[in-house]
Amino acid sequence: MKHRIIALSVAIPLAGCGSIAPNSDAPLMGGGHVQVVDNAPITVTETGPAVGAGGQRVFGTSCKNVVWDPAPSAEAAIALMKGAAFSKGFNAVHSIKTEKMGGAFFMNCWSAISASGIAYHMAAPVIPKAQ
């Protein structure tokens, strides 16, 4: 019973304030759901360098935080993940996975979808000169 009271005393003030999930479309104290647009110039590939060989894990979370928010989507989660890669200076992402998150309530979401991938620097293609 004591644990329930503590959980409610934490959850009630957070209700509607945004998600505590990292890189979310419902940022904490952000004024509600953010419309996500996929405009990061990131190339998506099937494979690339591993995390230890120049790659870095990136994440994005699409969250339904309040009743009037749209349902979370894999597309929004991927767009957030690509934006995270771009903001860290990368130009490509590989090994993208999306999944519905269990325990979304603990991130202050009614439901959530997470995207993860490995961001890396993809070399520019070499264009042969005409002879």
For residues 67-78, b (16+ Cβ closer than 10 Å) or e, as one string?
eebeebbbebbb
Q: Using CA atoms, how far apart are residues 101 and 15, in angstroms rounded to an integer?
A: 18
pLDDT for the residue numbered 52: 85
Mean pLDDT, rounded, for 60-69: 86
* Predicted TM-score of the model (pTM): 0.74
Strand partners, 105: none
- What are the pLDDT digits (tens) for 120-129? 998 876 677 7
Domain ranges of the chain: 2-120
- What are the pLDDT digits (tens) for 11-36? 444 445 677 676 777 766 555 656 67
Strand partners, 58: 117
Q: Which of 115, 105, 114, 120 is nearest to 15 (CA)?
A: 105
Q: Using CA atoms, how far apart are residues 65 and 81, in angstroms rounded to an integer?
A: 18
Q: Is the pLDDT of residue 84 over 50?
A: yes
pLDDT for the residue numbered 34: 65
CA distances from 83 to 53, 87, 112 (A): 21, 6, 18
- In CATH, the architecture of 2-120 is 2-Layer Sandwich (3.30)
Q: Which of 107, 8, 22, 9 is nearest to 65 (CA)?
A: 107
